[in-house]
Structure 1
Amino acid sequence: MRLVVDLDLCQGHAVCQDEAPGLFHVPKHGQVRILRPDPGADLEAARAAVRYCPTRALSLVDDSAAE
């Protein structure tokens, strides 16, 4: 699994950072930065961040499904 952000949709609300601070950083006036694309042990927090993103800019991609 890996985190993906659509920067065209991100408006910097920082809900993702609130849900998973170890995975996301949102500067005061900017868009989200993914700190770790592979959520690893923080998978549930990553899912919450994706679920609660107000602009639906985040997604989780299952790379193993492509194999």
Structure 2
Amino acid sequence: VKGENIPEPGIPESFKVLIKEMQSLCLNVEVLSSDGMSIEMRDTDEDVFRAAEELGIDLSRRPNEGAMNVEEI
């Protein structure tokens, strides 16, 4: 879209899942850069919450909050 920045490509979600699975098996997994420095992998959720905040969308509210049951109608 004209006038909007193209987001920087990130780490594939499948790779993030693989890392989490390996960590759940008590394997110490760290992603390192070419110079040996540890790289922090951001969660996709952080990106979603940041984008929602920029758009003024409140994701903290539960989807069915305030909904009525059939018995209440």
Q: TM-score range by the shorter chain?
A: under 0.3
TM (normalized to structure 1)?
0.23
Which structure has more relative contact order (CA 8 Å, sep 6+)? It is 1
More strand by share: 1
